C-alpha cells in the first residue's frame, strides 16, 4: 500500500522542543551580530547542518529557482557561498546578480531570510576558499560540468574517481570556474517561532542613514 501523503502531513507537528525566547528590543543595530549569535546558538542546540541555506535566484526570463548550498562565511562584505560560474546558478547570477538566502533551524524554531545584490569575489579569493575546504570538496569542484546533462551514472563514477585521484595528488589543483559569491543584504528578517503561534518577526532594512529595524505581524 502506498503511503497517504495527506494523512502523513496531518500527523506531523513542528517545534516539538522547548523554544528559546527572543526580545527584539535588545537586538543589535545591525543584522550580522544577531546572525552570528543565532548561528552559535543553533550549533549549541545540536541543529543538523546549520550552515546549509536555501539560495533563490531568477533566470534570464525572470523565472525563480532555488537550491540548498553551504555558507562559506559572513562579514561586512556579505554572506558568502560558492559554485561554478558555468552552473545554472552561476549563469543566473551573471544575468541577474540579485538573490535571496534562507536559513531554517527547527531545533529552535528560527528562520533567517536575507535578500540583496550579489557580487563576485576575485579568482584568488575563490581558489583560496576552495583549497581551505576538504579533499572531497576539491574533488567535486574538479569534476566540474555542474548542471550539464549527465549521460549515465557510470560516467559520473569515472569522472569522480579521476577527480578524487587528482585532488589527493594535487591539493592545490585549480578549478578555474569555481567562483566565490557574496550576497550583501538590503533586507534581513529574523523569525522566532512561538508554540502559541505568537511568532516574532524582526526585519532590518538598509537605508542611507543605516539599518532600520521594524517588527512584522506573523
pLDDT level of residue 51 (50, 70, 90 thresholds): very high
Residue 187 bridge partners (DSSP): 115, 205
pLDDT level of residue 17 (50, 70, 90 thresholds): confident
Residue 71's CB: how many other CB atoms inside 10 A? 17
Three cell numbers, residue 197: 503561534
pLDDT in tens, 85-141: 999 999 999 999 999 999 999 999 999 999 999 999 999 999 999 999 899 999 999
Asked if 189 and 169 count as a contact pair (C-beta separation under 8 A), the reply is no
CA 39 to chain centre: 13
Amino acid at each position: 500500500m502506498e503511503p497517504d501523503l495527506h494523512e502523513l502531513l496531518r500527523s506531523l507537528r513542528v517545534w516539538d522542543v522547548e523554544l528559546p525566547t527572543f526580545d527584539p528590543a535588545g537586538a543589535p543595530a545591525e543584522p550580522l551580530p544577531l546572525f552570528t549569535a543565532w548561528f552559535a546558538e543553533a550549533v549549541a542546540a545540536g541543529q543538523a547542518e546549520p550552515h546549509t541555506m536555501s539560495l533563490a535566484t531568477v533566470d534570464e526570463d525572470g523565472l525563480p529557482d532555488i537550491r540548498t548550498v553551504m555558507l562559506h562565511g559572513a562579514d561586512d562584505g556579505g554572506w558568502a557561498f560558492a559554485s561554478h560560474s558555468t552552473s545554472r546558478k552561476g549563469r543566473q547570477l551573471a544575468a541577474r546578480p540579485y538573490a535571496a538566502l534562507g536559513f531554517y533551524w527547527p531545533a529552535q524554531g528560527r528562520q533567517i531570510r536575507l535578500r540583496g545584490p550579489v557580487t563576485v569575489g576575485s579568482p584568488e579569493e575563490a581558489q583560496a576558499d576552495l583549497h581551505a575546504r576538504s579533499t572531497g570538496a576539491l574533488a567535486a569542484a574538479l569534476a566540474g560540468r555542474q548542471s550539464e546533462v549527465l549521460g549515465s551514472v557510470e560516467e559520473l563514477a569515472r569522472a569522480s574517481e579521476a577527480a578524487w585521484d587528482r585532488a589527493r595528488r594535487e591539493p592545490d589543483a585549480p578549478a578555474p570556474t569555481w567562483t566565490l559569491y557574496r550576497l550583501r543584504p538590503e533586507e534581513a528578517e529574523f523569525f522566532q517561532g512561538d508554540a502559541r503561534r505568537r511568532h516574532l518577526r524582526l526585519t532590518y532594512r538598509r537605508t542611507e542613514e543605516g539599518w532600520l529595524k521594524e517588527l512584522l505581524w506573523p
